[in-house]
Structure 1
Amino acid sequence: MTNPSNSEIDIVKSSKSKIKDVDFNNLVFGRIFTDHMFVCDFIDGVWQQPKIMPYQAMSFEPSARVFHYGQAVFEGMKAYKDENGKIWLFRPDENHKRINKSAARLAMPEFPRDYFLNGLETLLKMDKEWIKSGIGNSLYIRPFVIATEPAISASPANSYRFIIICSPAKAYYSGKVRVLFAEKYSRSANGGVGFAKAAGNYAAQFYPTALAQEKGYQQIIWTDASSHEFLEEAGTMNIFFRINDSLVTAPISDRILDGITRKSIIQLAEDNGITVEVKRVPVTEIKEAARNGSLKEIFGAGTAAVISPISAFEHAEEVFEIPDNEDSYASLFKKQLLEIQHNVSQDKHHWRHEVK
């Protein structure tokens, strides 16, 4: 079949909106969902007619392959509304490319760009009242794909479902974050699926993260699986280290997610004349920088979190507190990024995408 236009999306509108029951000043991340969702099935080697329907529960057979072999990938995006009521996406083509890259690694079919953008824009226009203006407000968007074929033989599925759901959002983390540097557990390994937004990557880190939380830390900064000597990324964020007036971050690889916020910060740093060194980051280097005072900041970066300052880290039973910095790079980049996303400032890199 050919890729559909907006008019070819099968639309069923919700009979009644839930929006009046939502307290937008007291949102818990990822718990409230908008009135509609986008659904498209892959059957017999072809993506079928896309649909937008009221947000609802779905039924799957107990033998659906996603439950047994973990064929599931997802993306994280946000929509923003400016003071004139216009709706904006931030670098959506990057999300589309990345979900297809993730899908390919898990032997899942890629999703056509036209389906993705047309479906997403139609969904956002239908649920536009859920997107609140003002910096700090956004609509979190979760596209994902799961294997739906009812069969428990260990092989890739023949049928899949692509879904987009949306959730109004404010801050993902409130305040500063304390982290533990990984010494035993690993997030990903060479040749694995660490670069993909595969659901299993996140499930596997819940247990060691829970252990860290018992010690008073919100996140783990993962180290390389072979030696645990090099810092790579946190559970929901890429990581930046500021040593004196330069930024250091790990290179992307088959272990590390190619974060869209990460690459945007690297560009913003260049725009601001700040040196960024992309290299392997030894644990010993960061600990020594903390001891001699040259470690000025650590912050995480991701779509949900935006930018989260890290106030302390622990490694080998040593705790290092990171003092506040008056000329914080984290604050600078967060301000510049949010102003671009909300159509407040110039977008010289053409990252914004207007939903018309």
Structure 2
Amino acid sequence: MWIRRLQAEGIRNLKPFDLECGSSLNLIYGGNGAGKTSFLEAIYFLHRGNTFRGKKAGGIRTFGAERCFVQCWLEDQNGFVWRGKQVCGNTLSEAPQESFPKPRGFMVRLISDSIYQLVEGSPELRRRFIDWNLFHVEPGYGKLMRQYRRTASQRNAWLRAGAWGPAVWDQHYVALCRRVEQYRQAFCDALNERLADMSSGLAVCEGGLKLKWLAGFNSETLEVDLQRMHAADKKRGFTFLSPDRTDFQVLAPKRPGLGSRGENKTAAILLQLVASRVMSGDNRTDIWLVDDLGSELAAENAQSLLQHILQQGQQVFLTALKPETVDVGRLFHVEQGIVQEKILA
């Protein structure tokens, strides 16, 4: 499924636009601050209903704009066209006021300038990465996580209240923790199977990359361990042993610890690529938003990664300062918030 037509109004510094998009590579070029990233943000907002920028960037709505919306016409492999629209609320909040049910197969993945945080940032980012992918590939995972969160909250409330009486939550809590851990570790293993092969062709990943799973608890002895840590959990007011302590590390055979910013960015992009491969197999189904790919990467590595993205993605939106010498389907120039298509020679 790909975006055939994209329409938006009231998005940051962008002027209203209505564009026909290419089914393969769409290159958006222009100077710094012109609005290239905001263009990608509009597509991200259409799919997720929020922005990928931090709180410092403020809301996605143009200050003073009467309307803020993104609308698209999606086309699938059978030529069926699906119209979708996200409307922003009347405040600067990123939460959509109006949304549309996402058709099956409409999946957007982002590679931003801060993607290196997936490797060198907090463990929470890596857990969210796994959970987001599992939510889309495992039908019951969302329900499982809601059950786990509710049970963990109830057990923690019991601990804060003094933990009087029998530990009625423990058995259910242990069962849910084990199921969450099984899903997460299985997905991490699936990533690992593909990561070494995909990374081995890049000079910056000489020898290939692999993932090391770091469990938040011992699954076999969790029930006994909860009893052993009962007094400490009661004192701190929450359960220490939980899936909220799980993590994974990205390891390279020829270097210890974290790599450079460029190496970590490369590893994070590869993680996104193999996650897409795990979810869709050899099918090219995802829409990729790629912002400032060449930043902090050697030209050779950036080109290799772009080829991987083009091979994996059905449709790609790529930003650049200047028109690139790649096989572009559609070319768009952004200047002072105005997006215009440029006719390819």
Name which structure has the greater RCO, CA cutoff 8 Å, separation 6+: 2
Structure holding more helix per residue? 2
Q: Shorter-chain TM-score: what band?
A: under 0.3
Structure holding more strand per residue? 1
- The TM-score, its normalising length taken from structure 1, stands at 0.26
Over alpha carbons, which structure has the higher Rg? 2
- The TM-score, its normalising length taken from structure 2, stands at 0.26
